[in-house]
C-alpha cells in the first residue's frame, strides 16, 4: 500500500509542477487582461455620453433658428465652430468604436 501512495504522490507532484510551468510564458497576457476589459467597458459606457454631448451642445440649439441680430458672417462662424465640435466628438466616438473592436 505504501508503494502505491508514493507513486500517487509522485504523479501529483509532477502534475502540479507541470501545470504551474505551462502558463508562465503567458503571465504578461494574464496581467494585461483586466486592464483591457476595464478599457473596453469604459469605452462602451462613454459612447452614450459622447452622443449626448453632441446633441445637447451642438445640434439641439438649432431647433429654432433665430439670428438674434447677428450678421451672416457671425452666424457662419458660430456654425463652423459647432461643426468642428461635432467632428471632434465624431472622431472620439470612432476611436471608442475601434477600441471596442480590438
Task: Record the pTM.
Answer: 0.59
Q: Indicate whether 2 pLDDT > 70.
A: no
**What pLDDT score does 23 carry?**
73
Q: Which three cell numbers stand for residue 20?
A: 504551474
Pairwise CA distance, residues 50 & 79, whole Å: 19
Residues 6 or more apart from 80 whose CB is under 8 A from it?
Answer: none
**What are the pLDDT digits (tens) for 57-87?**
887 776 556 667 777 788 788 788 888 999 9
Query: Which tens digits make up the pLDDT trace of 21-70?
Result: 677 788 888 899 999 899 889 999 999 999 999 888 887 776 556 667 77
How many other CB atoms sit within 10 Å of the CB of residue 95?
12
- Length of the chain in terms of residues written: 102
Q: How far apart are CA 46 and CA 28, in angstroms?
A: 27
Amino acid at each position: 500500500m505504501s508503494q502505491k501512495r508514493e507513486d500517487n504522490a509522485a504523479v501529483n507532484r509532477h502534475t502540479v509542477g507541470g501545470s504551474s510551468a505551462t502558463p508562465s510564458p503567458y503571465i504578461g497576457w494574464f496581467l494585461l487582461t483586466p486592464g483591457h476589459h476595464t478599457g473596453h467597458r469604459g469605452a462602451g459606457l462613454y459612447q452614450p455620453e459622447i452622443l449626448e454631448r453632441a446633441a445637447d451642445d451642438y445640434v439641439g440649439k438649432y431647433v429654432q433658428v433665430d439670428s438674434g441680430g447677428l450678421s451672416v458672417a457671425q452666424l457662419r462662424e458660430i456654425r463652423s465652430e459647432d461643426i468642428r465640435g461635432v467632428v471632434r466628438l465624431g472622431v472620439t466616438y470612432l476611436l471608442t468604436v475601434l477600441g471596442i473592436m480590438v
